[in-house]
Amino acid sequence: EQFVEESGGGSVQAGGSLRLSCSVARYPYDKYCMGWFRQAPGKEREGVAQIDSDETSSYADSVKGRFTISQDSTKKTLYLQMKNLKPEDTAMYYCAVALPLVGCYAGIDRLDFSYWGQGTQVTVSS
């Protein structure tokens, strides 16, 4: 069974919405940091949003006001609600989990995350 697994990607027109989900297995810790990243072709993987076990969240400036990260801590499931999608949001989206018992650091840095899903594609057409 995959440790981190995303779902919910797809194709939408600009202005549309999508909701991504991420299930995290075999991770029985009460203190953690989980996040969403994305990578467009030819670009670096960038942080989108992160949330810790205390429900403290942060976002990249490019998605503030449009994306919302949330979680079901009892199910260790992470969500990313994306609204008002733009063509520049097109990318492979990855769910990531930091080492256990470590909260989120300032900034959404991929180097702070140790476990990754295989990604789910989001395509936004104009």
Q: How far is CA 9 from CA 78, 87, 98, in A?
A: 14, 14, 22
Could you tell me the pLDDT band of residue 63, with boundaries at 50, 70 and 90?
Answer: very high
Ranking 2-6, 16-20, 106-110 by mean pLDDT, the lowest is 2-6
Distance CA 110, CA 115 (A): 10
pLDDT, greater one: 99 or 60: 60
pLDDT computed for residue 75 by the predictor: 84
pLDDT tens for each residue of 64-74? 999 999 999 88
Could you tell me the pLDDT band of residue 76, with boundaries at 50, 70 and 90?
Answer: confident
DSSP label at 37?
A: E
Half-sphere exposure at residue 52, Cβ-oriented, CA atoms within 13 angstroms: 16
Per the document, the length of the chain is 126
Neighbours of 107 (CB within 10 A): 11
Sign for the CA dihedral angle at 25, 117, 49, 13 comes to: negative
